[in-house]
Amino acid sequence: FTLEEFKLTHGTNLYETSSNTNLKQTIEDCIKSRSSAIYTSYSTTKNNQQIWLQTTLTPIVSTEGKLIKLVAIDSDVTKIKEAEEEILMQKQEITDSIQYASRIQSALLPPADFLCKYMDSYFILNKPRDIVSGDFYWISENSTHIYIAAADCTGHGVPGAFMSLLGITFLNEIMAIHSEISTGNILDQLKNSVIKSLHQSGTDDGDIKRDIVRDGMDMAMIALNKSNNQLQYSGANNPLYLVREYNGSIPSIDKEPSVIINNTQLFEFKADKMPIGLHYNDTEDTFTTNQIELSAGDSLYMFSDGYVDQFGGELGKKFKSKAFKELMVTNNHLSMSEIKQLLDDTHNKWKGDKEQIDDILVLGIRI
């Protein structure tokens, strides 16, 4: 259109002809601030072609600061808008697919109330960083034991979720084959299955293995004996915390506590320093099965590293394991459900307006 043609076709009132509903406010802000403003609108050409226009509105003022006129320059941004709409549509399709994948992943996890059949007091705090998670928990049983695991797969989001599906599938296969099996043996077989399925290999170069596919998972696994207070624990890089209220009558544990506050002690059972998967300096052939005698009132915690690695606080530092341990010990008098809420609230307060950097998984069990 020429200007005259535009006036004849659309009139002279911009407020009535523009498709931008915020045009009036934009013009008022432009005049008030005496600075340029940019807005977009949908329009039709002389040939009835629908286009997107980006208008730069600039106020022209006198030396005394009085408004003389407004100059509007239109640019055709149709191709940019169409590209933006296509990207948004593709993003929505991808998001919908991941949302569906999240439902599949959730369906493979044991229901949160699954442990109700075996114990009265426990919690599962599961906070994925993205829609799907690289952290997962797993629960199974045989005639003598209840098996519980908390795992942290390589990566997060979609890559981590794929690895978690492998882990859950292999664990279920192992339990289907063996009627009696130790936690260490389970991790051994799981490690072999992951290495084989991912075709992991390394070539020796002196004492260093190179070209290794480092995908895998860290894991803490326990097996609770159904008939007594014996517990098995095995760990692939991830430890087990046991918090015990000591009153003199409870059997002692043959190791030094990591934290003591009043009469409450936290014992850390360290994991074997190797993941589920191939890694550098892979010299340990098998995972250790630790035997622990439990007492009524003991609290057990398994977790991924997402909680302690979260940046936050006034200085933007990591939360760290020391603060996590002290949180468990000082609040051991609370119920498991209250501790779960405390952990969630503490994390949110610590994180503040920062992004969650990793998936978070914490399992708590009280004997």
The percent of residues above 70 in pLDDT, for the chain, comes to 93
Domains of the chain: 3-76 (3.30.450.20), 110-366 (3.60.40.10)
Task: Assign 93 to helix, strand or coil.
Answer: helix
Residue 275 has pLDDT above 50, yes or no: yes
| Amino acid, single-letter form, for residue 340 | K
Q: Which of 42 and 283 is assigned the larger pLDDT?
A: 42
Instruction: Round the average pLDDT of the chain to a whole number and report it.
Output: 88
Q: Report strand pairing: 317-318 vs 311-312.
A: antiparallel
CA 174 to CA 285: how far, in whole Å?
Answer: 18
Find the range with the poorest average confidence among 21-30, 33-42, 198-207: 198-207
List residues bridging with 225 in a β-sheet: 145
Q: Say if residue 280's pLDDT is above 80.
A: no
For residue 289, which of 331, 225, 346, 232 has the smallest C-alpha distance? 232
Quick one: pLDDT at residue 233?
A: 98
Residue-by-residue DSSP string for 222-244: EEEESSSSEEEEEEEB--EEEEE
**pLDDT given for residue 334 in this prediction:** 96
Rounded to whole angstroms, how far apart are CA atoms 102 and 187? 26
Q: Which pLDDT belongs to residue 114?
A: 75
Distances (CA, A) of 225 to 118, 143, 300: 11, 9, 14
Paired with 69 in beta bridges are: 60
Q: How far is CA 279 from CA 111, 202, 284, in A?
A: 33, 9, 11
Question: How would you classify the pairing of strands 264-269 and 240-245?
Answer: antiparallel
CB contact at 8 A, 184 and 289:
yes
What is the structure's pLDDT at 6? 76
222: burial class by Cβ within 10 Å (0-12, 13-18, 19+)? buried
pLDDT in tens, 173-221: 999 999 889 999 999 999 999 998 887 765 544 444 544 556 789 999 9
Cα 278 from Cα 196, distance rounded (Å): 10
Q: Is 237 left (phi over 0), alpha (psi -120 to 50) or beta?
A: left
Which of 175, 163, 172 minimizes the C-alpha distance to 200?
Answer: 163
The pLDDT-based confidence of 105 (bands split at 50, 70, 90) is confident
Residue-wise pLDDT tens digits, 84-102 = 889 999 989 888 888 888 8
User: Using 50, 70 and 90 to split pLDDT, how confident is the model at 283?
Assistant: low
Question: Per DSSP, which regions of 77-216 are E strands?
Answer: 121-127, 135-141, 145-153, 203-205, 208-210
d(CA 313, CA 330): 20
Asked whether the beta carbons of 27 and 70 are under 8 A apart, the reply is yes
pLDDT of residue 159: 83
Percentage of residues of the chain with pLDDT beyond 90: 53
